[in-house]
Amino acid sequence: MRFEPVAPVRAYERVVEQIEQAVVSGALKPGERLPSERELMTQFGVGRSTVREALRVLQAAEMIRSRPGDPRGPEVLAASPVALHRSMHRLARADHVGLAELLQFRMILDGSAHLLAAELRTADDLAGLDTALEAMREGVSHGYAEFSRADVAFHEVIARISRNPLLVVSEEVVRGVVLELIEDKLEHASNRTSLMRAWLSHHAEVLDAIRSADGTGAAHLAKQALYDNYAEHVPAGQRPLLTPLLRS
């Protein structure tokens, strides 16, 4: 006979448990309201601070939101990828993850997103990509910031076409962290205009591949472009980590 180690269960944890249960079971639907803190404290039989700590935990998990003064009480939120985004971002900024690993991961995600996009795109999707590309073309003359915004938008459309929220969120997070790590280096790039033109023609190529439903080609273009643009910032010794991905 074996015994399990027991951990003390805090009062606020049991409150969290009950409310969370009510939400995931569907008893409380998004948009509905929780009772006020003072009401909850009598229902649960605990002090207000305990209730508040429980609500803080749920709020950190993006399950509820409370606004001061609202007599209807805290609002139950729909499941959103914001919490996933936060936790992944934290993990990606931890020290064991360097630019090489991030870039590797981004090549994987971006490549797959392009592959799926080429196979699953509809006529509407293609139109969306066309306008995104057009915005980039205009952005070239409106400065780097504008161009960069249009570039991000293009990538987001691609990710969206893949129709996988996990892919969308992960790609977005990794892209953001990569940019955070090398933004200072990009700031000082001297030949920005030629960089933008190169990027633009690359995106046009990608769009062609997607239009002709060439998934493998689009994926390869995407990975190659990432390598070409960012590998210079990766220590030379770690670049062999990236090249295998170009061969698939």
Partner DNA sequence: GTCAGTACACTGGTCTGACCAGTAGCCTGC
Partner DNA sequence: GCAGGCTACTGGTCAGACCAGTGTACTGAC
Positions that interact with DNA (CB under 7 A): 10-12, 34, 36-39, 41, 45-50, 52-53, 55, 66-74
The residue among 49 and 201 lying less far from its own copies, judged by its C-beta, is 49
Q: Which of 34, 76, 115, 178 binds its own copies (CB under 8 A)?
A: 115
Separation CA 169–CA 156 (nearest Å): 10
| Binds 36: which of its own copies, DNA, none (CB < 5-8 Å by kind) | DNA
- On whether the CB atoms of residues 22 and 28 are closer than 8 A, the answer is yes
* 79 lies in the site for its own copies, by CB under 8 A: yes
What residues pair up with 76 in beta bridges, in sequence order?
64
* 120 lies in the site for its own copies, by CB under 8 A: yes
* 31 lies in the site for its own copies, by CB under 8 A: no
Site residues for its own copies, 151-210, by CB under 8 A, read 163-167, 169-170, 174
CB atoms within 10 A of CB 18: 14
Residue with token string 């998004």: 30
Q: Dihedral (C-alpha) 156, 158, 164, 165: value to the nearest 10 degrees?
A: 0
The residue among 37 and 101 lying less far from DNA, judged by its C-beta, is 37
The residue among 2 and 247 lying less far from its own copies, judged by its C-beta, is 247
The residue among 95 and 188 lying less far from its own copies, judged by its C-beta, is 95
On the CB side of 130, CA atoms within 13 Å amount to: 8
Separation CA 209–CA 119 (nearest Å): 10
- On whether the CB atoms of residues 103 and 226 are closer than 8 A, the answer is yes
CB of residue 112 vs its own copies: minimum separation in angstroms? 4
The residue among 191 and 235 lying less far from its own copies, judged by its C-beta, is 235
* 246 lies in the site for its own copies, by CB under 8 A: no
CB of residue 195 vs its own copies: minimum separation in angstroms? 27
Classify 2 as helix, strand or coil: coil
Kindly give, in sequence order, each residue whose CB lies less than 8 Å from that of residue 155, ignoring residues fewer than 6 positions away: 110, 171, 175
What residues pair up with 33 in beta bridges, in sequence order?
75
Classify 98 as helix, strand or coil: coil
Judged by the rule CB under 8 A, the positions of this chain that interact with its own copies are: 8, 12, 24, 26, 49, 52-53, 56-57, 59-61, 63, 68, 78-81, 83-84, 86-88, 90-97, 101-102, 104-105, 108-109, 112, 115-116, 119-120, 163-167, 169-170, 174, 215-216, 219, 241, 244-245, 247-248
